[in-house]
Amino acid sequence: MSKEEFVATEHQHRRLNPLTGQWVLVCPHRMKRPWSGQQESPQKNELPEFDPTNPLCPGVARPNGVKNPVYESTFVFTNDFPALLEGVPDPPVSSDPLFQVAPARGTCRVMCFHPKSNTTLPLMSSTEISAVIKEWINQYNDLQKKYTWVQIFENKGSAMGCSNPHPHCQIWACSFFPSEPKLKDTNLRAYYQQHKRALLDDYVQRELTKEERIVVKNPDWLVVVPYWASWPFETMLISRNKNKRINDLTKSQIDNLALTIKELTTKYDNLFGCSFPYSMGWHGAPTGDEIGKDDAHWTLHAIYYPPLLRSATIRKFMVGFELLCQAQRDLTPEQAAQRLRDVDGKKHYLH
Ligand code: H2U
């Protein structure tokens, strides 16, 4: 072991994600390696406001013949190519531990955020973003009674596999508790049993005290690059009001959330002067039969996983060591938070 004093921005180390029990390897010394990557000029928005061939646009007939209404705010429809269906036969039960199988049912919806194809959340007004949040809540209210897990998620940008540039998200409602939130539920519950407090409520308090990883802060919401972040500019948007699910937000919490989303996504776009790709989604207490059961261990939060590393086109790939061993990053979460804090969150580079 070296006698040198440990410096987090110099020396490699591992950090634990207490939500998943997974470790991430942090190698900040690799930031010093020579880099002659390109500097890019900010991207322009080349998309038309309306594209009569885009099946998500208002008034357009989708390939299945159904015509979209001429919507003026949000618009939700059942996915024409859903991953989850109702009314399918259950697989036969297997007693073989090597061939376990279980039923999966559900429904999938597509939600357009706005009638214009050439806008995105950071370019929308906070009132328009509030309308998106209210529709998330309507959808959640409708689906939560029947389904154990309602996953609201946005894939933004082709880098994240998004198939359509029109601003939209997806909602998948599942009859089962999917692996990632189930793992979180187990770890959050174990922490609560030991400490008698919710893990993420404690985490928010610690981050507010430490002030090392904060990106956006207001009385209702905190955005941090988590201590255990795997992706270079991953963030977590956490409720400061002990909310359990998205449908228990008050009007002022919704309005503040709209401002928070606008500020965070503006910062993201301004970081590399591009429409910043990411996958994001909401996690809260499970629903369906779980409603009314003990959910004290949960705190509502969203997670943003953006793939970009150095510029609008240079992305991080979770391959090699990451795929075979565990997640690894070079830039420390504190350095990433500093970069996001320093970049303008009020004025978008296209304005
Ligand atoms: P993504 O861009 O995140 O893949 O979402 C677009 C979704 O829209 C996708 O799941 C659905 C696709 O199945 N879709 C329809 O339901 N109908 C269409 O006519 C086009 C796309």
Domain containing 209 — which CATH number? 3.30.428.10
Structural domain includes residue 116:
no
- Which amino acid, 127? T
Structural domain includes residue 302:
yes
Structural domain includes residue 231:
yes
Distance CA 189, CA 342 (A): 36
Radius of gyration of the chain (CA): 21
How far, in whole angstroms, is CA 258 from its chain's centroid?
A: 15
Which of 84, 109, 164, 278 to mutate to test ligand 1, by most ligand atoms within 8 A of the CB atom? 164
Ligand 1 nearest atom to the CA of residue 154, by list position: 3
Ligand 1 nearest atom to the CA of residue 78, by list position: 16
Kindly give the distance from the C-alpha atom of residue 269 to the centroid of ligand 1, in angstroms, as a whole number. 24
Residue 183 has, within 13 A of its CA and on its CB side, a CA count of 8
Six-digit token string for 291: 């409603």
Where in the sequence numbering do the catalytic residues fall?
168
Structural domain includes residue 29:
no
At residue 1, the pLDDT reads 74
Kindly give the distance from the C-alpha atom of residue 17 to the centroid of ligand 1, in angstroms, as a whole number. 32
Structural domain includes residue 284:
yes
Residue nearest to ligand 1 atom 20, measured at CA: 55
Kindly give the distance from the C-alpha atom of residue 111 to the centroid of ligand 1, in angstroms, as a whole number. 10
Kindly give the distance from the C-alpha atom of residue 37 to the centroid of ligand 1, in angstroms, as a whole number. 34
Show the ligand 1 pocket: residues with CB < 6 angstroms.
Answer: 55, 62-63, 79-81, 110, 155, 162-164, 170
Q: pTM here?
A: 0.96
Residue-wise pLDDT tens digits, 203-262: 999 999 999 999 999 999 999 999 999 999 999 999 999 999 999 999 999 999 999 999
Structural domain includes residue 171:
no
At residue 2 the predicted structure's pLDDT band, cuts being 50, 70 and 90, is confident
The rounded mean pLDDT for the chain is 96
Structural domain includes residue 172:
no
Domain region containing 212: 177-342
Structural domain includes residue 184:
yes
Distance CA 346, CA 288 (A): 39
Total number of domains in the chain: 1
